[in-house]
Structure 1
């Protein structure tokens, strides 16, 4: 064993050659200009990133000696080695197996070189076929082209998808998370956009279709990388989900995101034991909604009081918000309830009164589609005054994007628990306050206020002539208050419950026990069937039989 049967010699020389190349690749060359630039920019080296993200000692590399070795023509000894600018391999995150691809910007800025064109799509295929989460650490072009390749190949070429087809296939089967850790351009930018979750680092990462030199030539704009695609731009337009301060924080966010999702669409989301009792009743919820309807409150606090508290985190909430920097009138995120993952959607009444705009609608649609794809039930907290209105809202095509949110929640097959906390008005109110499906459950708080349009604005429209006929502003205000007093009894939500217009009005303090009971039933009786139906739609290679993939 271990010897050539014919010659009787061992293969130690080949093993020695392999180990020599691996040592070169895995040892940083502190004199290399690329490595120096990486460190001067305050960035971790690619292998430091892999070690920081994965469980200690869990990384098993794939393609460890991919690159361009240079040998001495006379002795045959290794003179130098240009490694591939992409590291790929298996690893573990909190004990769960994942596949990771990590760009090495210190090698030709991440442009196609040394087998990277083959490694990148191969990694995406492996993640999909082995049905494990895919994590990308993006820095550079991620294997995108460079004009220098024209000279080496002897011709220009028609651009190809360069593995993006495999990226879309992976997106349909396994969770895909991307960290933007430098200038992410071209192909890398497309990969960042074809992710379920993405995070960038303030002052360290930028994101654009083409960099400043190309932009200057095309549009005559002389911009820095930060001006063109820094975090202040993409953290507020939804191109990336979250923004953090350091690379280590980015890795922690990816670990958190992965912790809520199943390894693939063929399994249930991961559950764990919760030390937070399902019977917990929060007195604070009883008075958290102001009786004066124009006043705001903290919806994120409402969420934290309902979802699990992570005891080992010194009483911190399990709520992990996604997209806090954009579409800010909408709140989306993942949490645990009774130890089970749940998606949370809500409105933020402190931003434009909570009225949902174009960005908020896009954010809601994208998140609902994510939860539906990975069989994560949705906790829907409704305080929706309606769509944003006005000239800016119309220019932003608010109602069109609102229709996308409507389609997402209407077509969702996962269970949805709807709680109408305060307002539910107009079309937007109907979208979130009345998700039609037999698997869904709905209650309201006694603070609920609903209708085709808000009462105050509706009175202004319906009694416009009488109000305008008053002799003074004081008389107008008096008449307005009289009309409001006249309508006040019928806006009491109990009146609508008398007609079984709403299934139940509950004590806010009973919310967590009700949600815990619902989520346990969903995981036991409903989600297994959804997982089975998903499995029936895919072949052994992890591709949909219909040929369609994940909806971005």
Structure 2
């Protein structure tokens, strides 16, 4: 399986010779069921601090070789102590999870321990980056701590996450399923969306974490460290990426590669809700968060999962002072009974809420289609975008020309001698009048219609201009997003 020990994992992730361990001699206080006779080294969890890329971090790693990494009260208190430390010091927290779950012999004390961890996960949210690494089983209540953190990493054939395991499911429901099929790394990264990053080995996972750390700030009072600016790779020609036929798809990541520094883009949730692309990159050396519709998958529509995916990422960027770039090409929200019954109204509202709430610099580029509610949702001027640009290929309208013509000119088409020919004429008429960026520009909803090859230069200018942006909001305790 390629599993490492807890200390090997810490040393492999952190900069060499920087780990300093705390609370090595902590002992459990369990007395029931023979626990008073058991010596559990470090109570099954290693905690301490070290550095990644010469910047300090706090870290804990559960040790499965000690009582299966089970969580008792002393084990939990070691974790909450290092969590408190990371919050006070304003440095990221990394948790390596490898545990069989609650230590049953300690009864409700183990549950109290979980609750205290969840409480601190919540207090730390939006204050310091929290990273969870699942390198073994993570079952029952234990899964809620990773779910409360910002980024979850999983490794193929090693990571397992589920509320109830295969044996419970078999007993209660009579269904047989393996741990891998129920909550393995692929399931969590492709089906449930619980995992943000998927790796094939532990070392690949640690490299992913170190790379992520280059893009994010260490706490919410800082900005990400700048890097020297680099030109995009010349093989990505922005003017040749989008097909001339508006019905043909393309890969929005090629657009991203053509405008960001060094064509370097760290994609998040790559394998889940692929109809939207999110991730970090740099423009002129500064970190930005990118949200882009993916025409290769479902034409880039918004649906339940893609709305959740984008909304949470937008809120992370806003919490940690990372400007947002939105690349728009979508026909709207995905229609259908399944989506309606899955709650697309509530889930779709999350992206509206996240963009409206965000006060970081927000730049939007409309590349092709921007129809209906999708146009509004993808960081339109109406949701507070600071700059909105459109390419000449942009089509901004209530709906696509075909659907609009069928509604607006329904009678003329029905009464025509040749309905098909009349429909073509009316579609062309609607396209010429509305399926372009100029009507929106005339109303001030678009700041400028730009050529694709101007995009990077204009992004550099607008992001530089908005570095000191301040946007006061009404005083409140907190908003109530559509959870």
TM over 0.5: yes
Quick check: 2:228–2:285 contact (8 Å CA) kept in 1?
A: yes
1:282 and 1:496, CA in 2 relative to 1: closer, same or farther beyond 3 A?
farther
State the match for 2:394 in structure 1: 448
1:264 and 1:467, CA in 2 relative to 1: closer, same or farther beyond 3 A?
same
**Match among 235, 243, 247 for residue 198 of structure 2:** 243
Q: Distance in 2 between matches of 1:156 and 1:281?
A: 56
Quick check: 2:28–2:75 contact (8 Å CA) kept in 1?
A: no
State the match for 1:64 in structure 2: 24
State the match for 2:264 in structure 1: 318
Superposed CA deviations along residues 459-509 of structure 1, whole A, max 9, x for unmatched, are: 1233344545667xxx44333222223333223434553554522101110
State the match for 1:147 in structure 2: 104
SS of residue paired to 1:364: helix
Quick check: 1:175–1:258 contact (8 Å CA) kept in 2?
A: no
State the match for 1:484 in structure 2: 427
State the match for 2:318 in structure 1: 372
Quick check: 1:121–1:164 contact (8 Å CA) kept in 2?
A: no
SS of residue paired to 2:180: helix
1:288 counterpart = 2:232: no
**Match among 320, 329, 335 for residue 275 of structure 2:** 329
SS of residue paired to 2:466: helix
State the match for 1:108 in structure 2: 67
State the match for 2:32 in structure 1: none
Residue 239 of structure 1, CA deviation: 1.3
State the match for 1:270 in structure 2: 225
State the match for 2:34 in structure 1: none
SS of residue paired to 2:329: strand
Residue 260 of structure 1, CA deviation: 1.4
SS of residue paired to 1:161: helix
SS of residue paired to 1:222: coil
Superposed CA deviations along residues 429-466 of structure 1, whole A, max 9, x for unmatched, are: 11215144667111110110011111111112333445
SS of residue paired to 2:360: coil
Residue 102 of structure 1, CA deviation: 0.7
SS of residue paired to 2:448: coil
1:394 counterpart = 2:340: yes
Matches of residues 454-473 of structure 1 in structure 2 within 5 Å?
454-468=400-414
Quick check: 1:171–1:550 contact (8 Å CA) kept in 2?
A: no
Q: Distance in 2 between matches of 1:65 and 1:460?
A: 75
1:202 counterpart = 2:202: no
SS of residue paired to 2:135: strand
1:371 and 1:460, CA in 2 relative to 1: closer, same or farther beyond 3 A?
same
State the match for 2:213 in structure 1: 258
Q: Distance in 2 between matches of 1:484 and 1:547?
A: 46
Superposed CA deviations along residues 302-348 of structure 1, whole A, max 9, x for unmatched, are: 00111110xxxxxxx32100111112111110111111110000101
SS of residue paired to 2:71: coil
1:114 and 1:416, CA in 2 relative to 1: closer, same or farther beyond 3 A?
closer
Q: Distance in 2 between matches of 1:547 and 1:381?
A: 29
Quick check: 1:91–1:97 contact (8 Å CA) kept in 2?
A: yes
Q: Distance in 2 between matches of 1:548 and 1:66?
A: 41
State the match for 1:497 in structure 2: 441
Q: Distance in 2 between matches of 1:283 and 1:81?
A: 56
Question: Which structure is larger by alpha-carbon Rg, 1 or 2?
Answer: 1
State the match for 1:170 in structure 2: 124
RMSD of equivalent CA atoms: 3.0
SS of residue paired to 1:123: helix
**Match among 325, 330, 353 for residue 299 of structure 2:** 353
**Match among 513, 519, 526 for residue 463 of structure 2:** 519
SS of residue paired to 1:269: coil
State the match for 2:329 in structure 1: 383
Quick check: 1:67–1:113 contact (8 Å CA) kept in 2?
A: no
User: Which segments of 5 or more consecutive residues in structure 1 lack a partner in the other structure?
Assistant: 1-40, 70-78, 310-316, 538-544
User: Which segments of 5 or more consecutive residues in structure 2 lack a partner in the other structure?
Assistant: 30-37
Report how many aligned residue pairs link the two structures: 472
Superposed CA deviations along residues 400-435 of structure 1, whole A, max 9, x for unmatched, are: 211111011011111101111111111121121514
Q: Distance in 2 between matches of 1:374 and 1:285?
A: 30
Matches of residues 67-106 of structure 1 in structure 2 within 5 Å?
67=27, 82-106=41-65
- Greater RCO (CA < 8 Å, at least 6 residues apart): 1
Q: Distance in 2 between matches of 1:367 and 1:510?
A: 27
Quick check: 1:356–1:428 contact (8 Å CA) kept in 2?
A: yes
Q: Distance in 1 between matches of 2:287 and 2:68?
A: 39
SS of residue paired to 2:210: helix
Q: Distance in 1 between matches of 2:135 and 2:42?
A: 20
Q: Distance in 2 between matches of 1:498 and 1:158?
A: 60
Q: Distance in 2 between matches of 1:238 and 1:157?
A: 26
Residue 85 of structure 1, CA deviation: 1.1
SS of residue paired to 1:207: strand
Q: Distance in 1 between matches of 2:335 and 2:125?
A: 35
Q: Distance in 2 between matches of 1:389 and 1:114?
A: 49
SS of residue paired to 1:140: coil
1:423 counterpart = 2:366: no
Q: Distance in 1 between matches of 2:147 and 2:24?
A: 27
Quick check: 1:102–1:136 contact (8 Å CA) kept in 2?
A: yes
SS of residue paired to 2:121: helix
Quick check: 1:329–1:360 contact (8 Å CA) kept in 2?
A: yes
1:512 and 1:218, CA in 2 relative to 1: closer, same or farther beyond 3 A?
same
SS of residue paired to 1:335: strand
1:181 counterpart = 2:117: no
Residue 385 of structure 1, CA deviation: 1.0
